[in-house]
Amino acid sequence: RAVLPITSGTRADGMVNLDDTRHCPVGPECEGCGRLEELAVLAGDTPVGVLCMTLCDSCEIAGVLPIFTPAEEATRVREHGGHVG
């Protein structure tokens, strides 16, 4: 996964880990299948950048990913950037 430089200086090396989902909110349902249980936030690569998404255990194991429009992807990438700092 890509690691981008940041200017806020939150880490000594000036880099942010885009896979870090500790501050990303867990959605109310799986974005792959709609399931309401066993949810977790995962980071995923898209053509426009890394975003966070809520998936259930089954979709994570099966590799089922939500389908976003390019506009949704861009919005989600920006939101994820806010979560990781």
pLDDT tens-digit series, residues 44-61: 999 999 999 999 999 999
Positive or negative torsion for Cα 72, 42, 77, 81 = positive
DSSP H helical ranges for 20-64: 57-62
- Give percent of the chain above pLDDT 70: 86
Higher pLDDT, 67 or 3: 67
Q: Which tokens go with 7?
A: 């200017």
Three-class secondary structure of residue 62 per DSSP: helix
Where does the pLDDT of residue 26 fall: very low under 50, low under 70, confident under 90, or very high at 90 and above? very high
Cα 58 from Cα 30, distance rounded (Å): 10
Give yes or no for residue 3 having a pLDDT over 60: no
Amino acid identity at 3: V
